[in-house]
Structure 1
Amino acid sequence: MKKSIICLFLCFLVIGCKKNPLDITPDGKISMKDVFSDQVRTEAFLNTIYGFIPYYYTAYQEWSFLAGATDEAQDAEVGNNPGVVWDWITGRLTPSFDPLAAGVDGTVNQYPTFWSGIGYANIFLQNIDNATVKGEQFKSRLKGEAQLLRAFFYLELVKKYGAMPVADKPFDNDFNYTGLKRGTFQECVDFIVKDCDAVIANPNMPLRITIENERVRFSKAIAYAIKSEALLYNASPLWNPTNDAAKWQAAAAGSKEALTALTAGGNYKLADDYGNYFLNNADFAVVPRDRETIYERRSAFPGSVMNVPSKGGIWKLGACPSQELVDSYDMQATGEPAITGYEDADHLKPIINPASGYDPAKPYEGRDPRFYATVWYNGALYDNINGNVHTVATYAGGGDQLIKSPPNRTNTHTGYYLRKFLDPKLPTGQDQVSGWKKYRLAEIYLNLAEAENEANGPTAVALDAVNAIRRRAQMPDLGGLDKEALRERIRRERRVELAIEEHRFWDVRRWKILDKTDKLVTGMEVIKNPDNSFSYKRFVTERRNAWQDKFRIFPIPIADASIVPDFSENQNPGW
């Protein structure tokens, strides 16, 4: 931790300003006084903090999605090239090796990155009040951004590693790290919420960004999103083992506050078209086209990694949606789940809901429209491009066929291809350009639905929140459910609404169901019959070894555990 902050701060001194700050004094040194006595350097310092926000999307090693490390998908690199997902599913996580730290971009190594972001934010906040910045309102906004960045880094840190020391000031050079103590998860969340509340109360923080050249900057809306997510995680079973109702009440109140503030006057609202929403970057204007995105992280490493083989130009496939994800989509006409579970441990014998209208001989007909916006399946029509409609053919012998053995990088491993995020109208080989929606309004609706149901049961507030999401997708409302039944439906709703968006990885951990979801993934083998009909056979495509309880929370890296006695004495469970 100490080493990371010092080294990265030295990098800031070299590259943080247009003019090399090392040239401003005869001995080549620059002090904090020098930095904060100049507005350009002060802003450059804040920009450096923003630089620690990690990339998501395909930023992991070999342009993989995190979804490949969940039951949402199998990564096409598995069986072809050792990499981040293979290392993860084979259980190689240890205190000295984090498979998910490998990536196209160095910020994927999140432990030192998050601590560096916190350290820089603390330095900034210690100095900003006395900084030479024109206008108290502008100074107040810079301070609010630093507070919110600190809250962001803390939330990302504790989601992954559990409770950490609460540090609201920079560590001095002579700080005694041997005396550093881990706080509780509640204390960390209280600290995060305190920063968010300060930003929410700050009149100089804009609710949303309306200028294109400020797209990377944090807004007040992000404070509401972070607060909502932090309180929900704090109330969840992993961090609320006694099911303290007060935590659920706080989570419900935080998300309700967020929705009330964000949707007032139509400032934020759900996009009309779920599928098209993910194909476009957020725009920034006083009256924007996109009012759902709260924060978008543009990818520094876009890649033309996904397609279907018969369209040509494919380099590597990335995430192949799993049969488990496909099974999670309801039937549109009835609003009922098609598949409610499995009779066997290998998920080869689905439990079909007779009230749903699902036909196993026509498994892709009549599903939730979000299914068609997320998954390419056998028979799917690959959008009308200049009058041409391509029919996806994953059946044996088809142009997009499943290849089970030996697998390759370009053909599906599961019988499905990823549709979400991918614009089929882009010319072959052109990179996908849409940014990663880190926070969006739909998540806050779902946070409220879950927290309200756990706090007060299936109230109108809980149902209105989840049904707002379903109505956007043209799905029937939920109703007439008890608390337990609504809990299950809300979890299903999160799964389909937020599919492949890196929520599932954390949701199954905070719900403590990792051992039920991550032992394997399955696919669908499709056979074309002589009469041109199709037969469907489920198969296990991948067995995994990262589902035990210890994988709910990442181990504290061994380097820090060796420096801080409290870390080694209170290492995370199982490590």
Structure 2
Amino acid sequence: MKKITVIGALLLCMTQFSCKDDFLVTTDPTRIGTDLFYKNETQFQQALSGVYGQLQQITSSAYIFQEFPSDNTTLDFNPLDRGGAAGWEAFEFSTVNQGNGEISNIWNLYYSALYNVNYTLEKLATSSLDAGVKGPIEGQLKFLRAYFYFHLVQYFGDVVLVTSTLANPNQAFDLVRSPQADVWAQIEKDLKEAVALLPATYPAAQVGRITKGAALGILGKVYLTQKKYTDAVSTLKEILPLGYSLNPAYADNFNPARKNGPESLLEIQYQGGNDLGEWSNFAYVFAPRLSAGAITGFANTAPAGRNIPTNDLIAAYETGDLRKDVSLKTSYTLNGTVVQMPYIIKYTYPHTITGRTDNNWPVLRYADVLLMLAESINEATGPSAEAFDYLNQVRKRAGLAPKTGLDKVALRDAIMKERRVELAFENQRWFDLRRTKTPAELAAFMNAYGAKEKAKPTVDRGGIAFNAQDYVFTENEYYLPIPAPQILINAKLTQNPGY
């Protein structure tokens, strides 16, 4: 995929302007210009689908930024190939710097998607579409803008806040980072407007699109992240009468045959088994690198060995927790030999074409809503029967005894532990750690985890010692650095401290 910087993404609007030089005025007969597009519902739905496609791209690598940095996962270390050490591996070992290519990639992906959201919203505002058609499209676009900025503000802190396209491409060089408070305010505004515009359900042909429930759930999480606990409680409770429920079996949330079930508020849609380019491949990315087809089911494949469950996470499961065997395994058998190596099983299901799985990615489940409610109530007013009930609904499905009689601190810890195992490998852990700890607390926590991993690595390192900087987490790493190319392009952007 062609890389597009923030300014590059914004400069795409240059194609909308006429040029004075005649030799530049050309029409590509294979393309529909913007003056001819955005004319009817079908075209707006196509534009919206394009942004959903970008959401797929963002989600496909999100584990690098939302699981790897945490204590949940590590990597199947390859002593013969250190090519990823300065890129994706750096998120596991806390050695990220401003030149990291993965950071540039996500920055470009998010801002390219945001440009498309803003441009489509502007075209939608001046369109003649019926309000009943326009409203849901607008709601989905505003949700997506909020969702993208929800990630960006947690990754980087102050970020470039752009909610419209530029009248002149030169204006891109004047963009600066907006204070977090402004970004959070825009996120809340977009989500509130999305809630008002989105339907609770869609016709069968549109199942999987963003709903009112999804907007309420992410808004509740936005409030929770900002420690606006009363707002979180009231918002999350609006979800309760919308008809969601826990699946009877935990595994139903990840089975491709049961996509978009009663527990799903939002999952990123993928489709395997064809040549349409919509497939996922998480099973291949997460399987141990030397497992060949033992896990994926297709021989002569080379899994990536990323997102390996840590010893620390495996130990967090209580005896009898039904979720453990659905989420991970601790060994596999290859050519009759048992290999001791943990791996994620949650996204591994039979499929028909090598590397093209049919698994969706869960973004928001009803179990998450229940646990957020328990947490918000506990933080707002302390332990209560209601808070325990929400927590214990999740525990009951997992086959575990209910929690009772805990004080506020103990209940807080119990909820966080429950979130860790319930939502393991769903890209929730890193953001949970960040929002519940100060930078100093997070640094202490991650350094303690790193010391354990160094003392007893989850994965054999083939005789390669840890680097002196591995698992040395400093307070400034609470935020990622702004990508170095962005600062080279626009000198008005500032770098986060410590990088």
TM-score normalized by structure 1? 0.69
SS in 2 for 1:291: coil
Match of 2:191 in 1: 196
Alignment CA distance shift 1:6-1:430 (3 Å) = closer
What amino acid is the match of 2:8? K
SS in 2 for 1:319: strand
RMSD: 3.6
User: Distance between the aligned counterparts of 2:131 and 2:423, measured in 1?
Assistant: 40
User: Distance between the aligned counterparts of 2:112 and 2:352, measured in 1?
Assistant: 40
Tell me which of 302, 317, 320 is aligned to 2:281.
302
User: Distance between the aligned counterparts of 2:157 and 2:34, measured in 1?
Assistant: 34
Match of 1:552 in 2: 478
Question: Which aligned pairs between 1:151-166 and structure 2 lie closer than 5 A?
Answer: 151-166=146-161
Q: Work out whether 1:471 is the aligned partner of 2:399.
A: no
Q: CA deviation at 1:273?
A: 0.5
Greater helix share, structure number: 2
User: Distance between the aligned counterparts of 2:185 and 2:39, measured in 1?
Assistant: 33
Provide, for residues 452-484 of structure 1, a one-character-per-residue CA deviation record: whole Å limited to 9, x for no partner: 212211123322221221122121111211111
Alignment CA distance shift 1:514-1:291 (3 Å) = farther
Tell me which of 424, 429, 450 is aligned to 1:520.
450
What amino acid is the match of 2:482? I
Question: Which aligned pairs between 1:77-476 and structure 2 lie closer than 5 A?
Answer: 77-81=77-81, 82-83=83-84, 84-99=87-102, 109-133=105-129, 135-173=130-168, 176-177=171-172, 179-202=174-197, 205-212=198-205, 214-215=206-207, 217-235=209-227, 247-257=228-238, 259-260=239-240, 263-264=241-242, 267-280=243-256, 282-283=258-259, 290-299=261-270, 300-302=279-281, 305=284, 306=287, 311=294, 313=299, 315-316=302-303, 317-330=305-318, 366-377=319-330, 399-402=337-340, 412=341, 416-423=342-349, 432-476=357-401
Preserved CA contact (<8 Å) 1:42 1:131? no
SS in 2 for 1:164: coil
Alignment CA distance shift 1:110-1:216 (3 Å) = farther
Preserved CA contact (<8 Å) 2:58 2:106? no
Q: Work out whether 1:5 is the aligned partner of 2:10.
A: yes
* Larger relative contact order (CA 8 Å, sep ≥ 6): 2
Alignment CA distance shift 1:458-1:564 (3 Å) = farther
User: Distance between the aligned counterparts of 1:280 and 1:488, measured in 2?
Assistant: 33
Q: CA deviation at 1:447?
A: 1.7
Alignment CA distance shift 1:319-1:555 (3 Å) = closer
SS in 2 for 1:226: helix
Identity of aligned residues (%): 22
User: Distance between the aligned counterparts of 1:31 and 1:417, measured in 2?
Assistant: 46
Q: CA deviation at 1:495?
A: 0.5
Q: CA deviation at 1:86?
A: 2.3
Alignment CA distance shift 1:53-1:268 (3 Å) = same
Preserved CA contact (<8 Å) 1:151 1:192? yes
Q: CA deviation at 1:184?
A: 3.0
Question: Which aligned pairs between 1:71-82 and structure 2 lie closer than 5 A?
Answer: 71-81=71-81, 82=83
User: Distance between the aligned counterparts of 2:39 and 2:356, measured in 1?
Assistant: 42
Provide, for residues 137-171 of structure 1, a one-character-per-residue CA deviation record: whole Å limited to 9, x for no partner: 11222222222221122112212111324433222
What amino acid is the match of 1:94? N
Q: Work out whether 1:35 is the aligned partner of 2:37.
A: yes
TM-score normalized by structure 2? 0.79
User: Distance between the aligned counterparts of 1:50 and 1:147, measured in 2?
Assistant: 12
- Gaps of at least 5 residues in structure 1 are 12-20, 102-108, 236-246, 285-289, 331-365, 379-391, 403-411, 525-536
Preserved CA contact (<8 Å) 1:458 1:482? yes
Preserved CA contact (<8 Å) 2:140 2:210? yes
Structure of larger gyration radius: 1
